[in-house]
Amino acid sequence: MKPSLHAWCLSGLFTVCASAAAAPPEAKSPADESVLIALGRKVAEYQMRAPVGTKLVVDSGDFFHPVYTPRGVVITDLAPSDHPHHRGVFLGWVEMHGAKDADFWGWGEHAPIQGRQIVNRSLSVMETGLETLSDWQADGVVLIHEKLIARMTNSGNVNLLDLDYHLTPVSDLKLTRWAFSGFCLRTRKEGAIEFFSPAGSVQLPNPSHLKPESDWPDAPWYACTVKLEGGLAGAAIINHSSNPPTLWHNHRDVRMINPCIVAPAEVNLKKGQPLRLRYRVVTFDGEVPTATLNTLAAEFRK
């Protein structure tokens, strides 16, 4: 089932609502569409394309924002003033070389961002999630075919968003080594932030975006809490054990959790050979639920 240009909902435990962005009725188009995912309560909104009327400097959809905690607090940010290319929960690398050079992250310093788009081609509703097909394009040339399977659950004090990316390059591609980029969760700017790992509060210094070796060591998960007016809200990313070697560019000032597969070394993708990446996003309210995250990580990483 694919969403039309009109708002619609499926009733029941799992609810998906597709709606147009705030534009006059006569201006509605597929580029305005998003999909709201709820399991009795809001979990996340999948943006099929770049929302109209925002300050986002990249012309790509295929990301999740807003992402909610169980209490309904929005934990993610979209196009913040310090990094207007950041977009909730998203995937993109800062420097890619192949048939065309491209920066799908959106920094624009070492590869072009103009004419580089992640374009949603289809969306299907499953019993507990979504399946989407998107093309990573550079000046109209498709570099990667992406299939994303997103499954959502909630369990008491947490919301879960399980993301399974299958990225098939149309031609050979090189992902240049950088300290950051790849899969990312960008949190809100306001409020004091603190990072945690299974070992407790992280006291490591912020990594440098120019020094991959300064990234944090791999761990089953990293989490952060943000002190908002209504109390603490938080998010975590659990890394799947089958993902490529990873270092984490978790930066307090930039407000992001970023398991980075290009920090240990450049990654080379061969034509027609899919790269599979799996991540579990967990949102919560209050203090970090360490025991719950450890259980969820053990389950997910099997």
Residue range 94-121: mean pLDDT, rounded: 97
Name the pLDDT band for 17 (thresholds 50, 70, 90): low
What is the reported pTM?
0.91
| Entry field: residues in the chain | 302
Beta carbons of 85 and 106 less than 8 angstroms apart: yes
Q: Taking Cα atoms as reference points, which of 295, 235, 288 lies closest to residue 259?
A: 235
- Report whether pLDDT(121) > 80: yes
Tokens in use for 16? 């998906």
22-31, 88-97, 238-247, 274-283: segment of lowest average pLDDT: 22-31
7-21, 51-65, 146-160, 210-224: segment of lowest average pLDDT: 7-21
Name the pLDDT band for 16 (thresholds 50, 70, 90): low
Residue range 222-240: mean pLDDT, rounded: 97
Element (H, E) at 185: strand 182-186
Name the pLDDT band for 5 (thresholds 50, 70, 90): very low
- Report whether pLDDT(9) > 70: no
Q: What is the pLDDT of residue 302?
A: 83
Cis before 245? omega within 30: no
For the chain, percent of residues with pLDDT exceeding 90: 83
- Report whether pLDDT(27) > 80: no
Q: In degrees rounded to 5, what are phi and psi of residue 192?
A: -65, 140
Q: How far apart are CA 56 and CA 111, in angstroms?
A: 18
Beta carbons of 88 and 66 less than 8 angstroms apart: yes
Element (H, E) at 278: strand 275-285
164-188 pLDDT, tens digit per residue, is 999 999 999 999 999 999 999 999 9
> Residue 216: how many CB atoms within 10 A of its CB?
23
Q: What is the pLDDT of residue 126?
A: 85
How much of the chain is in helix, strand and coil states, percent to nearest 5? 5, 45, 45
Q: What is the pLDDT of residue 22?
A: 28
Strands of the sheet containing 89-92, edge to edge, are 8-9, 15-20, 33-38, 42-47, 63-67, 89-92, 182-186, 256-257
- Report whether pLDDT(68) > 80: yes
